[in-house]
Chains A and B, each alone.
Chain A
Amino acid sequence: MSQALDIYLFLLFFISIVLTFISFSFFFNFERKFFYSFTIFLICVLPFYIYVRKRIFSLFIDPFCSAVRGVNNFFKRQYLPEPLKISGAPEIKEFVSHINRLMLELQAYRGFQINKIVDENNKAKTLVDIIPDAALLAGEKNELIYFNERAKILLKLNAALPLPQCVGEAVFSDKISDILSGQEDSKAAEIEADLGNKGIKIYFVIKKKFSIPSLKKEGFALIIRDITKEKKFEAAKDDFFHMITHDMRAPLSTIEGYCEMLFRKTPKTEEGEKYFQKIFYSSRKLKGMIEDILNYRKLKEKKAIISLDYIDPCEIIKSVIDEHTPMASARNINIFSSCAVGKERLYADRSLLERAVSNLVSNAVKFTPSSGNVELSYKRESGFGIFSVKDEGPGIPEDKKNLIFEKYISYDDEKNRGFGLGLALCRLVAEIHGGKIEVKSEIGKGSEFLIYIPDKNKENL
Protein backbone atom coordinates (compact mmCIF):
# COMPACT_ATOMS: atom_id res chain seq x y z
CA MET A 1 0.00 0.00 0.00
CA SER A 2 2.80 2.35 0.91
CA GLN A 3 4.45 1.67 -2.43
CA ALA A 4 1.26 2.40 -4.29
CA LEU A 5 0.84 5.67 -2.37
CA ASP A 6 4.45 6.58 -3.14
CA ILE A 7 3.83 6.02 -6.83
CA TYR A 8 0.59 8.04 -6.71
CA LEU A 9 2.31 10.95 -4.99
CA PHE A 10 5.20 10.85 -7.45
CA LEU A 11 2.76 10.70 -10.37
CA LEU A 12 0.88 13.63 -8.92
CA PHE A 13 4.13 15.58 -8.56
CA PHE A 14 5.26 14.59 -12.05
CA ILE A 15 1.95 15.52 -13.65
CA SER A 16 1.96 18.86 -11.86
CA ILE A 17 5.54 19.45 -13.12
CA VAL A 18 4.51 18.56 -16.64
CA LEU A 19 1.43 20.77 -16.48
CA THR A 20 3.49 23.58 -15.09
CA PHE A 21 6.04 23.04 -17.85
CA ILE A 22 3.30 23.16 -20.48
CA SER A 23 1.67 26.27 -19.01
CA PHE A 24 5.03 27.99 -18.62
CA SER A 25 5.91 27.14 -22.21
CA PHE A 26 2.59 28.52 -23.33
CA PHE A 27 3.05 31.71 -21.46
CA PHE A 28 6.78 32.24 -21.96
CA ASN A 29 7.32 30.57 -25.36
CA PHE A 30 10.50 28.73 -24.42
CA GLU A 31 12.43 32.00 -23.89
CA ARG A 32 15.05 32.50 -21.27
CA LYS A 33 12.38 33.77 -18.90
CA PHE A 34 10.68 30.40 -19.27
CA PHE A 35 13.67 28.34 -18.12
CA TYR A 36 14.41 30.69 -15.20
CA SER A 37 10.76 30.56 -14.04
CA PHE A 38 10.53 26.83 -14.47
CA THR A 39 13.76 26.21 -12.58
CA ILE A 40 12.62 28.47 -9.70
CA PHE A 41 9.32 26.60 -9.67
CA LEU A 42 11.10 23.25 -9.52
CA ILE A 43 13.38 24.41 -6.75
CA CYS A 44 10.34 25.54 -4.75
CA VAL A 45 8.09 22.59 -5.47
CA LEU A 46 10.57 19.74 -5.05
CA PRO A 47 11.31 20.33 -1.32
CA PHE A 48 7.61 20.86 -0.81
CA TYR A 49 6.93 17.53 -2.47
CA ILE A 50 9.59 15.80 -0.38
CA TYR A 51 8.25 17.35 2.84
CA VAL A 52 4.62 16.49 2.12
CA ARG A 53 5.55 12.97 1.14
CA LYS A 54 7.57 12.53 4.30
CA ARG A 55 4.78 13.90 6.49
CA ILE A 56 2.13 11.70 4.93
CA PHE A 57 4.30 8.68 5.39
CA SER A 58 5.39 9.46 8.92
CA LEU A 59 1.91 10.44 10.13
CA PHE A 60 -0.19 7.80 8.46
CA ILE A 61 1.44 5.25 6.23
CA ASP A 62 4.42 4.06 8.28
CA PRO A 63 2.54 3.72 11.59
CA PHE A 64 -0.31 1.92 9.83
CA CYS A 65 2.04 -0.49 8.02
CA SER A 66 3.90 -1.04 11.30
CA ALA A 67 0.59 -1.88 13.01
CA VAL A 68 -0.31 -4.32 10.23
CA ARG A 69 3.08 -6.03 10.51
CA GLY A 70 2.68 -6.19 14.27
CA VAL A 71 -0.77 -7.81 14.01
CA ASN A 72 0.48 -10.34 11.41
CA ASN A 73 3.36 -11.16 13.72
CA PHE A 74 0.93 -11.67 16.60
CA PHE A 75 -1.18 -14.12 14.61
CA LYS A 76 1.88 -15.94 13.45
CA ARG A 77 3.53 -16.29 16.86
CA GLN A 78 0.31 -16.47 18.86
CA TYR A 79 1.69 -13.98 21.37
CA LEU A 80 2.63 -10.33 21.55
CA PRO A 81 6.35 -9.86 22.43
CA GLU A 82 5.91 -6.09 22.98
CA PRO A 83 3.15 -3.58 22.26
CA LEU A 84 3.14 -1.87 18.87
CA LYS A 85 4.92 1.45 18.67
CA ILE A 86 2.40 4.28 18.93
CA SER A 87 3.28 7.04 16.51
CA GLY A 88 1.82 9.08 13.70
CA ALA A 89 -1.30 11.24 13.55
CA PRO A 90 -3.48 11.31 16.66
CA GLU A 91 -6.11 9.21 14.95
CA ILE A 92 -3.49 6.64 13.98
CA LYS A 93 -2.09 6.67 17.51
CA GLU A 94 -5.55 6.00 18.90
CA PHE A 95 -6.08 3.26 16.37
CA VAL A 96 -2.74 1.56 17.20
CA SER A 97 -3.46 1.93 20.89
CA HIS A 98 -6.78 0.09 20.45
CA ILE A 99 -5.06 -2.61 18.39
CA ASN A 100 -2.49 -3.06 21.18
CA ARG A 101 -5.23 -3.41 23.76
CA LEU A 102 -7.19 -5.90 21.67
CA MET A 103 -4.13 -8.04 21.09
CA LEU A 104 -3.18 -8.00 24.76
CA GLU A 105 -6.71 -8.99 25.80
CA LEU A 106 -6.82 -11.75 23.22
CA GLN A 107 -3.45 -13.00 24.39
CA ALA A 108 -4.62 -13.02 28.02
CA TYR A 109 -7.86 -14.82 27.12
CA ARG A 110 -6.01 -17.45 25.14
CA GLY A 111 -3.60 -17.93 28.00
CA PHE A 112 -6.48 -18.32 30.44
CA GLN A 113 -8.23 -20.87 28.21
CA ILE A 114 -5.08 -22.84 27.70
CA ASN A 115 -4.39 -22.89 31.43
CA LYS A 116 -7.94 -24.01 32.03
CA ILE A 117 -7.63 -26.81 29.47
CA VAL A 118 -4.32 -27.88 30.95
CA ASP A 119 -5.84 -27.86 34.46
CA GLU A 120 -8.86 -29.93 33.38
CA ASN A 121 -6.62 -32.24 31.42
CA ASN A 122 -4.37 -32.77 34.43
CA LYS A 123 -7.34 -33.38 36.70
CA ALA A 124 -8.82 -35.91 34.27
CA LYS A 125 -5.48 -37.65 33.79
CA THR A 126 -4.92 -37.86 37.53
CA LEU A 127 -8.34 -39.42 38.02
CA VAL A 128 -7.92 -41.85 35.15
CA ASP A 129 -4.43 -42.82 36.30
CA ILE A 130 -5.48 -43.38 39.89
CA ILE A 131 -8.49 -45.65 39.30
CA PRO A 132 -7.82 -49.38 39.61
CA ASP A 133 -9.65 -50.12 36.35
CA ALA A 134 -8.05 -50.16 32.93
CA ALA A 135 -9.29 -47.06 31.14
CA LEU A 136 -8.75 -45.72 27.67
CA LEU A 137 -10.14 -43.07 25.36
CA ALA A 138 -10.31 -43.47 21.60
CA GLY A 139 -11.31 -41.18 18.76
CA GLU A 140 -13.86 -41.70 16.02
CA LYS A 141 -11.42 -43.75 13.93
CA ASN A 142 -10.58 -45.88 16.98
CA GLU A 143 -7.22 -44.17 17.36
CA LEU A 144 -6.00 -44.13 20.96
CA ILE A 145 -6.26 -40.70 22.58
CA TYR A 146 -5.33 -41.64 26.11
CA PHE A 147 -4.91 -44.75 28.27
CA ASN A 148 -3.77 -45.34 31.82
CA GLU A 149 -0.94 -47.56 32.98
CA ARG A 150 -3.33 -50.31 34.02
CA ALA A 151 -4.77 -50.49 30.48
CA LYS A 152 -1.30 -50.51 28.99
CA ILE A 153 -0.21 -53.49 31.10
CA LEU A 154 -3.45 -55.47 31.02
CA LEU A 155 -4.08 -55.15 27.29
CA LYS A 156 -0.41 -55.00 26.25
CA LEU A 157 -1.21 -51.94 24.19
CA ASN A 158 0.69 -50.81 21.14
CA ALA A 159 -0.17 -47.10 21.09
CA ALA A 160 0.82 -46.71 17.44
CA LEU A 161 -2.11 -48.81 16.27
CA PRO A 162 -5.84 -48.17 16.51
CA LEU A 163 -8.29 -50.37 18.39
CA PRO A 164 -8.61 -53.33 18.36
CA GLN A 165 -5.29 -53.99 16.58
CA CYS A 166 -3.38 -52.25 19.37
CA VAL A 167 -4.54 -54.87 21.94
CA GLY A 168 -1.67 -57.31 22.28
CA GLU A 169 -3.36 -59.57 24.85
CA ALA A 170 -5.24 -62.14 22.78
CA VAL A 171 -7.88 -62.99 25.39
CA PHE A 172 -9.19 -59.43 25.18
CA SER A 173 -8.82 -58.55 21.52
CA ASP A 174 -11.80 -60.59 20.21
CA LYS A 175 -14.17 -59.39 22.87
CA ILE A 176 -13.09 -55.79 22.48
CA SER A 177 -13.63 -56.10 18.71
CA ASP A 178 -17.11 -57.34 19.44
CA ILE A 179 -17.88 -54.47 21.78
CA LEU A 180 -16.54 -51.91 19.33
CA SER A 181 -18.54 -53.33 16.45
CA GLY A 182 -21.92 -52.09 17.70
CA GLN A 183 -23.28 -48.61 17.06
CA GLU A 184 -24.84 -48.30 20.51
CA ASP A 185 -23.93 -45.34 22.67
CA SER A 186 -23.04 -47.68 25.48
CA LYS A 187 -22.43 -51.39 25.65
CA ALA A 188 -21.23 -53.76 28.35
CA ALA A 189 -20.02 -57.33 28.46
CA GLU A 190 -18.23 -59.79 30.73
CA ILE A 191 -15.00 -61.44 29.69
CA GLU A 192 -13.57 -64.57 31.23
CA ALA A 193 -9.83 -64.36 30.61
CA ASP A 194 -7.33 -67.14 31.14
CA LEU A 195 -4.20 -65.18 31.95
CA GLY A 196 -1.93 -68.20 32.25
CA ASN A 197 -0.02 -68.13 35.53
CA LYS A 198 -2.24 -65.33 36.82
CA GLY A 199 -5.18 -67.69 36.63
CA ILE A 200 -8.65 -67.14 35.25
CA LYS A 201 -10.09 -63.74 35.87
CA ILE A 202 -13.44 -62.18 35.07
CA TYR A 203 -13.66 -58.66 33.72
CA PHE A 204 -16.54 -56.31 33.14
CA VAL A 205 -16.03 -54.19 30.04
CA ILE A 206 -18.06 -51.10 29.33
CA LYS A 207 -17.94 -48.82 26.32
CA LYS A 208 -19.48 -45.36 26.30
CA LYS A 209 -19.55 -42.83 23.50
CA PHE A 210 -18.66 -39.20 24.05
CA SER A 211 -18.59 -36.20 21.75
CA ILE A 212 -16.42 -33.11 21.43
CA PRO A 213 -18.97 -30.54 20.18
CA SER A 214 -16.39 -27.89 19.31
CA LEU A 215 -14.63 -30.27 16.94
CA LYS A 216 -17.84 -32.04 15.88
CA LYS A 217 -16.08 -35.29 16.59
CA GLU A 218 -17.08 -38.41 18.48
CA GLY A 219 -15.03 -40.85 20.44
CA PHE A 220 -15.58 -43.43 23.15
CA ALA A 221 -14.29 -44.43 26.53
CA LEU A 222 -13.56 -48.05 27.45
CA ILE A 223 -13.36 -49.21 31.07
CA ILE A 224 -12.24 -52.72 32.01
CA ARG A 225 -12.89 -53.71 35.61
CA ASP A 226 -11.66 -56.85 37.37
CA ILE A 227 -14.77 -58.40 38.99
CA THR A 228 -13.23 -61.78 39.80
CA LYS A 229 -13.49 -61.24 43.54
CA GLU A 230 -17.09 -60.07 43.36
CA LYS A 231 -18.04 -63.11 41.27
CA LYS A 232 -16.27 -65.47 43.65
CA PHE A 233 -17.99 -63.87 46.60
CA GLU A 234 -21.39 -64.15 44.94
CA ALA A 235 -20.73 -67.79 44.07
CA ALA A 236 -19.54 -68.50 47.61
CA LYS A 237 -22.64 -66.85 49.03
CA ASP A 238 -24.86 -68.95 46.76
CA ASP A 239 -22.93 -72.10 47.61
CA PHE A 240 -23.23 -71.37 51.30
CA PHE A 241 -26.96 -70.85 51.13
CA HIS A 242 -27.35 -73.87 48.95
CA MET A 243 -25.30 -76.10 51.21
CA ILE A 244 -27.25 -75.09 54.28
CA THR A 245 -30.67 -75.34 52.72
CA HIS A 246 -30.00 -78.62 50.96
CA ASP A 247 -29.17 -80.33 54.22
CA MET A 248 -32.27 -78.86 55.83
CA ARG A 249 -34.66 -80.50 53.38
CA ALA A 250 -34.61 -84.07 54.61
CA PRO A 251 -35.13 -83.28 58.32
CA LEU A 252 -37.89 -80.84 57.42
CA SER A 253 -39.66 -83.50 55.36
CA THR A 254 -39.42 -85.81 58.35
CA ILE A 255 -40.92 -83.19 60.69
CA GLU A 256 -43.76 -82.59 58.24
CA GLY A 257 -44.40 -86.26 57.74
CA TYR A 258 -44.66 -87.06 61.43
CA CYS A 259 -46.79 -83.99 62.05
CA GLU A 260 -49.16 -85.22 59.39
CA MET A 261 -49.31 -88.62 61.02
CA LEU A 262 -49.79 -87.14 64.47
CA PHE A 263 -52.57 -84.95 63.10
CA ARG A 264 -54.37 -87.97 61.75
CA LYS A 265 -53.98 -90.06 64.86
CA THR A 266 -54.65 -87.39 67.50
CA PRO A 267 -58.28 -86.91 68.65
CA LYS A 268 -59.57 -83.69 67.13
CA THR A 269 -59.92 -80.63 69.35
CA GLU A 270 -60.26 -76.98 68.39
CA GLU A 271 -57.02 -76.05 70.03
CA GLY A 272 -55.24 -79.11 68.63
CA GLU A 273 -56.42 -78.23 65.09
CA LYS A 274 -55.20 -74.67 65.51
CA TYR A 275 -51.77 -75.81 66.74
CA PHE A 276 -51.38 -78.31 63.91
CA GLN A 277 -52.39 -75.73 61.32
CA LYS A 278 -49.74 -73.33 62.61
CA ILE A 279 -47.11 -76.10 62.53
CA PHE A 280 -48.10 -77.09 58.98
CA TYR A 281 -48.12 -73.50 57.82
CA SER A 282 -44.70 -72.71 59.26
CA SER A 283 -43.13 -75.90 58.02
CA ARG A 284 -44.53 -75.33 54.53
CA LYS A 285 -43.31 -71.76 54.64
CA LEU A 286 -39.84 -72.92 55.67
CA LYS A 287 -39.90 -75.63 53.02
CA GLY A 288 -40.93 -73.00 50.48
CA MET A 289 -38.07 -70.71 51.45
CA ILE A 290 -35.60 -73.59 51.14
CA GLU A 291 -37.02 -74.59 47.78
CA ASP A 292 -36.84 -70.97 46.62
CA ILE A 293 -33.12 -70.85 47.34
CA LEU A 294 -32.44 -74.18 45.68
CA ASN A 295 -34.72 -73.51 42.73
CA TYR A 296 -33.44 -69.99 42.17
CA ARG A 297 -29.95 -71.26 41.55
CA LYS A 298 -31.13 -74.13 39.36
CA LEU A 299 -33.44 -71.87 37.36
CA LYS A 300 -30.76 -69.23 36.98
CA GLU A 301 -28.27 -71.80 35.70
CA LYS A 302 -30.99 -73.36 33.57
CA LYS A 303 -30.49 -76.67 35.35
CA ALA A 304 -33.91 -76.90 36.95
CA ILE A 305 -36.29 -79.69 36.16
CA ILE A 306 -39.25 -78.16 34.39
CA SER A 307 -42.20 -80.49 34.31
CA LEU A 308 -44.55 -79.09 31.74
CA ASP A 309 -48.08 -80.36 31.61
CA TYR A 310 -51.62 -79.06 31.23
CA ILE A 311 -52.61 -77.57 34.54
CA ASP A 312 -55.73 -75.90 35.89
CA PRO A 313 -54.72 -72.35 36.88
CA CYS A 314 -57.78 -71.93 39.09
CA GLU A 315 -56.91 -75.13 40.91
CA ILE A 316 -53.49 -73.62 41.69
CA ILE A 317 -55.21 -70.48 42.98
CA LYS A 318 -57.52 -72.56 45.16
CA SER A 319 -54.59 -74.55 46.55
CA VAL A 320 -52.66 -71.36 47.38
CA ILE A 321 -55.72 -69.80 49.05
CA ASP A 322 -56.19 -72.96 51.13
CA GLU A 323 -52.53 -72.82 52.13
CA HIS A 324 -52.60 -69.21 53.31
CA THR A 325 -56.15 -68.89 54.69
CA PRO A 326 -55.39 -70.18 58.22
CA MET A 327 -52.71 -67.57 58.85
CA ALA A 328 -54.57 -64.79 57.03
CA SER A 329 -57.71 -65.47 59.08
CA ALA A 330 -55.74 -64.92 62.29
CA ARG A 331 -55.48 -61.24 61.18
CA ASN A 332 -58.97 -61.12 59.70
CA ILE A 333 -57.55 -60.86 56.21
CA ASN A 334 -59.86 -62.23 53.56
CA ILE A 335 -58.17 -64.09 50.70
CA PHE A 336 -60.61 -64.81 47.92
CA SER A 337 -60.97 -65.52 44.21
CA SER A 338 -63.82 -65.88 41.78
CA CYS A 339 -61.79 -68.25 39.64
CA ALA A 340 -63.75 -71.44 38.87
CA VAL A 341 -61.90 -74.75 38.93
CA GLY A 342 -62.21 -76.96 35.86
CA LYS A 343 -62.78 -74.29 33.20
CA GLU A 344 -59.28 -73.19 32.22
CA ARG A 345 -56.08 -74.92 31.32
CA LEU A 346 -52.51 -73.81 30.83
CA TYR A 347 -49.38 -75.66 29.71
CA ALA A 348 -46.85 -74.98 32.46
CA ASP A 349 -44.89 -76.38 35.39
CA ARG A 350 -47.44 -76.69 38.17
CA SER A 351 -45.10 -76.79 41.15
CA LEU A 352 -43.05 -73.78 40.03
CA LEU A 353 -46.15 -71.76 39.22
CA GLU A 354 -47.79 -72.67 42.50
CA ARG A 355 -44.63 -71.63 44.33
CA ALA A 356 -44.57 -68.29 42.49
CA VAL A 357 -48.25 -67.54 43.20
CA SER A 358 -47.78 -68.65 46.80
CA ASN A 359 -44.86 -66.21 47.20
CA LEU A 360 -47.00 -63.39 45.87
CA VAL A 361 -49.85 -64.25 48.25
CA SER A 362 -47.44 -64.55 51.16
CA ASN A 363 -46.22 -60.99 50.46
CA ALA A 364 -49.77 -59.76 49.93
CA VAL A 365 -50.89 -61.13 53.30
CA LYS A 366 -47.77 -59.72 54.98
CA PHE A 367 -48.37 -56.20 53.71
CA THR A 368 -52.17 -56.01 53.88
CA PRO A 369 -53.44 -54.51 57.12
CA SER A 370 -55.80 -56.43 59.39
CA SER A 371 -59.36 -56.83 58.07
CA GLY A 372 -58.08 -56.16 54.56
CA ASN A 373 -58.54 -58.19 51.39
CA VAL A 374 -56.26 -60.13 49.08
CA GLU A 375 -57.79 -61.04 45.74
CA LEU A 376 -56.47 -63.65 43.31
CA SER A 377 -57.65 -64.03 39.74
CA TYR A 378 -56.76 -65.60 36.42
CA LYS A 379 -57.60 -64.55 32.89
CA ARG A 380 -56.47 -65.13 29.37
CA GLU A 381 -55.51 -62.12 27.28
CA SER A 382 -53.40 -61.47 24.20
CA GLY A 383 -51.92 -64.95 24.12
CA PHE A 384 -51.05 -65.06 27.82
CA GLY A 385 -52.50 -66.72 30.88
CA ILE A 386 -52.32 -64.01 33.55
CA PHE A 387 -52.27 -64.69 37.29
CA SER A 388 -53.10 -61.63 39.38
CA VAL A 389 -52.61 -61.08 43.12
CA LYS A 390 -54.01 -57.80 44.51
CA ASP A 391 -53.34 -56.53 48.01
CA GLU A 392 -54.31 -53.52 50.10
CA GLY A 393 -50.81 -52.77 51.33
CA PRO A 394 -48.94 -49.47 51.33
CA GLY A 395 -48.01 -49.67 47.64
CA ILE A 396 -44.57 -49.58 46.03
CA PRO A 397 -42.71 -46.41 45.01
CA GLU A 398 -42.08 -46.00 41.29
CA ASP A 399 -38.29 -46.17 41.67
CA LYS A 400 -38.51 -49.53 43.49
CA LYS A 401 -40.80 -51.32 41.05
CA ASN A 402 -37.99 -53.00 39.14
CA LEU A 403 -35.63 -53.29 42.10
CA ILE A 404 -37.96 -55.52 44.14
CA PHE A 405 -37.52 -58.33 41.62
CA GLU A 406 -33.76 -58.44 42.16
CA LYS A 407 -32.13 -61.20 44.23
CA TYR A 408 -31.66 -60.46 47.94
CA ILE A 409 -33.55 -57.18 47.72
CA SER A 410 -36.26 -57.08 50.34
CA TYR A 411 -38.54 -54.03 50.34
CA ASP A 412 -39.37 -54.70 53.90
CA ASP A 413 -38.52 -53.71 57.43
CA GLU A 414 -36.00 -55.65 59.51
CA LYS A 415 -38.69 -57.49 61.47
CA ASN A 416 -40.39 -58.99 58.45
CA ARG A 417 -37.40 -59.42 56.19
CA GLY A 418 -36.99 -62.81 54.49
CA PHE A 419 -34.22 -64.11 52.27
CA GLY A 420 -35.28 -61.61 49.60
CA LEU A 421 -35.63 -64.32 46.96
CA GLY A 422 -39.41 -64.66 46.72
CA LEU A 423 -40.03 -62.07 43.99
CA ALA A 424 -36.74 -62.86 42.25
CA LEU A 425 -37.92 -66.45 41.98
CA CYS A 426 -41.34 -65.35 40.72
CA ARG A 427 -39.61 -63.47 37.94
CA LEU A 428 -37.43 -66.44 37.04
CA VAL A 429 -40.44 -68.75 36.99
CA ALA A 430 -42.25 -66.38 34.63
CA GLU A 431 -39.19 -65.99 32.42
CA ILE A 432 -38.46 -69.71 32.25
CA HIS A 433 -41.95 -70.15 30.81
CA GLY A 434 -41.22 -67.39 28.30
CA GLY A 435 -43.36 -64.91 30.18
CA LYS A 436 -42.83 -61.98 32.53
CA ILE A 437 -43.89 -60.46 35.83
CA GLU A 438 -44.91 -56.89 36.54
CA VAL A 439 -46.42 -54.83 39.31
CA LYS A 440 -49.02 -52.09 39.17
CA SER A 441 -48.96 -50.01 42.29
CA GLU A 442 -49.65 -46.61 43.75
CA ILE A 443 -48.55 -45.43 47.16
CA GLY A 444 -51.40 -45.83 49.58
CA LYS A 445 -53.53 -47.79 47.12
CA GLY A 446 -52.08 -51.28 47.30
CA SER A 447 -50.37 -53.35 44.61
CA GLU A 448 -51.30 -55.82 41.91
CA PHE A 449 -48.70 -58.37 40.85
CA LEU A 450 -49.22 -60.01 37.49
CA ILE A 451 -47.51 -63.15 36.19
CA TYR A 452 -47.82 -63.60 32.43
CA ILE A 453 -47.43 -67.15 31.11
CA PRO A 454 -47.60 -67.70 27.34
CA ASP A 455 -50.76 -69.62 26.53
CA LYS A 456 -49.14 -72.37 24.50
CA ASN A 457 -49.99 -75.93 23.60
CA LYS A 458 -47.69 -78.89 23.96
CA GLU A 459 -47.56 -79.13 20.15
CA ASN A 460 -46.42 -75.61 19.43
CA LEU A 461 -43.76 -75.26 22.19
Chain B
Amino acid sequence: MKKIFMIDDNEEFKDMIHDYFSSIGYEVILASSGKNSVKESLTVKPDLIFLDVMMPDKSGIEIIRELQEYDEMKKIPVIVITGSYFESNMKEVFSAESNCREFLTKAIDLSVLEKKVFDIIGK
Protein backbone atom coordinates (compact mmCIF):
# COMPACT_ATOMS: atom_id res chain seq x y z
CA MET B 1 0.00 0.00 0.00
CA LYS B 2 1.42 3.35 -0.98
CA LYS B 3 2.07 5.80 1.80
CA ILE B 4 1.14 9.46 1.77
CA PHE B 5 2.54 11.83 4.38
CA MET B 6 0.34 14.89 4.99
CA ILE B 7 1.89 18.13 6.34
CA ASP B 8 -0.86 20.69 6.98
CA ASP B 9 -2.21 22.68 9.90
CA ASN B 10 -5.86 22.80 8.73
CA GLU B 11 -7.61 20.14 10.80
CA GLU B 12 -10.74 19.72 8.66
CA PHE B 13 -8.79 19.48 5.42
CA LYS B 14 -6.24 17.09 6.90
CA ASP B 15 -8.97 14.80 8.20
CA MET B 16 -10.84 14.90 4.91
CA ILE B 17 -7.76 14.01 2.87
CA HIS B 18 -6.88 11.26 5.33
CA ASP B 19 -10.37 9.76 5.12
CA TYR B 20 -10.66 10.11 1.35
CA PHE B 21 -7.33 8.63 0.36
CA SER B 22 -7.62 5.94 3.02
CA SER B 23 -10.95 4.92 1.50
CA ILE B 24 -9.38 4.49 -1.92
CA GLY B 25 -6.50 2.34 -0.76
CA TYR B 26 -3.69 4.61 0.41
CA GLU B 27 -2.12 4.77 3.81
CA VAL B 28 -2.24 8.37 5.00
CA ILE B 29 -0.07 9.54 7.91
CA LEU B 30 -0.56 13.00 9.35
CA ALA B 31 2.37 15.11 10.53
CA SER B 32 2.00 16.39 14.07
CA SER B 33 3.27 19.85 13.12
CA GLY B 34 5.21 21.69 10.46
CA LYS B 35 8.22 22.01 12.76
CA ASN B 36 8.55 18.25 13.32
CA SER B 37 7.42 17.15 9.87
CA VAL B 38 10.84 16.61 8.30
CA LYS B 39 12.06 14.49 11.22
CA GLU B 40 8.82 12.49 11.19
CA SER B 41 9.04 11.95 7.44
CA LEU B 42 12.40 10.21 7.92
CA THR B 43 10.63 7.68 10.12
CA VAL B 44 7.49 7.36 8.01
CA LYS B 45 9.38 6.96 4.70
CA PRO B 46 6.41 7.97 2.52
CA ASP B 47 5.96 7.48 -1.21
CA LEU B 48 4.42 10.94 -1.58
CA ILE B 49 4.10 14.09 0.54
CA PHE B 50 1.18 16.54 0.63
CA LEU B 51 2.55 19.87 1.82
CA ASP B 52 0.74 23.05 2.87
CA VAL B 53 2.35 26.45 2.22
CA MET B 54 1.38 28.61 5.16
CA MET B 55 1.78 27.06 8.58
CA PRO B 56 2.27 28.90 11.86
CA ASP B 57 5.47 27.18 13.04
CA LYS B 58 7.30 26.59 9.77
CA SER B 59 6.60 27.51 6.15
CA GLY B 60 6.15 25.06 3.33
CA ILE B 61 9.12 26.41 1.39
CA GLU B 62 11.47 25.80 4.32
CA ILE B 63 10.20 22.25 4.69
CA ILE B 64 10.47 21.39 0.99
CA ARG B 65 14.07 22.65 0.92
CA GLU B 66 14.97 20.86 4.13
CA LEU B 67 13.70 17.56 2.73
CA GLN B 68 16.27 17.88 -0.07
CA GLU B 69 19.08 17.79 2.49
CA TYR B 70 18.37 14.13 3.19
CA ASP B 71 19.35 11.51 0.60
CA GLU B 72 16.37 9.31 1.45
CA MET B 73 13.90 12.22 1.16
CA LYS B 74 15.19 14.35 -1.71
CA LYS B 75 13.62 12.15 -4.37
CA ILE B 76 10.24 11.78 -2.64
CA PRO B 77 7.66 13.71 -4.76
CA VAL B 78 5.89 16.57 -3.03
CA ILE B 79 2.46 17.90 -4.00
CA VAL B 80 2.02 21.41 -2.58
CA ILE B 81 -1.62 22.12 -1.71
CA THR B 82 -2.42 25.58 -0.44
CA GLY B 83 -5.60 27.24 0.70
CA SER B 84 -4.25 30.73 1.13
CA TYR B 85 -4.35 33.62 -1.31
CA PHE B 86 -1.21 33.34 -3.36
CA GLU B 87 0.43 35.02 -6.26
CA SER B 88 1.85 33.63 -9.44
CA ASN B 89 5.45 33.99 -8.33
CA MET B 90 4.78 31.69 -5.35
CA LYS B 91 4.09 28.85 -7.77
CA GLU B 92 7.33 29.62 -9.57
CA VAL B 93 9.25 29.57 -6.28
CA PHE B 94 7.98 26.11 -5.36
CA SER B 95 8.17 24.73 -8.90
CA ALA B 96 11.87 25.57 -8.91
CA GLU B 97 12.44 23.00 -6.16
CA SER B 98 13.50 19.65 -7.57
CA ASN B 99 11.17 17.58 -5.37
CA CYS B 100 8.02 19.66 -6.08
CA ARG B 101 5.74 17.86 -8.57
CA GLU B 102 2.54 19.87 -8.40
CA PHE B 103 1.32 23.18 -6.97
CA LEU B 104 -2.43 23.04 -6.31
CA THR B 105 -5.16 24.80 -4.39
CA LYS B 106 -7.37 23.25 -1.77
CA ALA B 107 -10.31 23.98 -4.04
CA ILE B 108 -9.18 21.25 -6.40
CA ASP B 109 -11.58 18.40 -7.12
CA LEU B 110 -10.61 15.35 -5.11
CA SER B 111 -11.03 13.16 -8.16
CA VAL B 112 -8.47 15.32 -9.97
CA LEU B 113 -6.12 15.11 -6.98
CA GLU B 114 -6.63 11.36 -6.86
CA LYS B 115 -5.65 11.08 -10.53
CA LYS B 116 -2.53 13.19 -9.97
CA VAL B 117 -1.50 11.00 -7.05
CA PHE B 118 -2.11 7.88 -9.13
CA ASP B 119 -0.05 9.29 -12.00
CA ILE B 120 2.87 9.98 -9.67
CA ILE B 121 2.95 6.93 -7.38
CA GLY B 122 0.30 4.53 -8.62
CA LYS B 123 -1.65 2.59 -6.03
Contacts and interface: CB of A to CB of B under 8 A. Distances in A.
Interface string B7-39: 000101101110110010000000000000000
A440 B26 CA distance: 50
Interface residues of B, number: 25
A249 B106 CA distance: 7
Interface of A: 242, 246, 249-254, 256-258, 260-261, 264-265, 287, 290-291, 294, 298, 303-306
A303 B88 contact: yes
Contact of A303 (B83, B87, B108, B110): B87
A260 B110 contact: yes
Contacts of A253: 13, 16, 83, 106-108
Contact of B17 (A246, A257, A291): A257
B23 A250 contact: no
A305 B95 CA distance: 12
A251 B16 CA distance: 10
The 9 closest A-B pairs by CB, nearest first: A257-B16, A303-B87, A254-B12, A305-B88, A305-B91, A254-B16, A250-B83, A253-B106, A249-B107
B26 to A, nearest CB: 13
Given A249-B106, A250-B13, A254-B16, A260 B85 contact: no
Interface of A, secondary structure class, is helix
B88 A250 contact: no
Interface of B: 10, 12-13, 15-17, 19-20, 23, 83-88, 90-91, 103, 105-111
Contacts of B103: 305
A264 B23 contact: yes
Contact of B20 (A250, A257, A290): A257
Contact of A250 (B85, B90, B106): B106
26 contacts: A246-B84, A249-B105, A249-B106, A249-B107, A250-B10, A250-B13, A250-B106, A253-B16, A253-B83, A253-B107, A254-B13, A254-B16, A256-B109, A256-B110, A257-B17, A258-B16, A258-B19, A260-B111, A261-B19, A298-B87, A298-B88, A303-B87, A304-B88, A305-B88, A305-B91, A305-B103
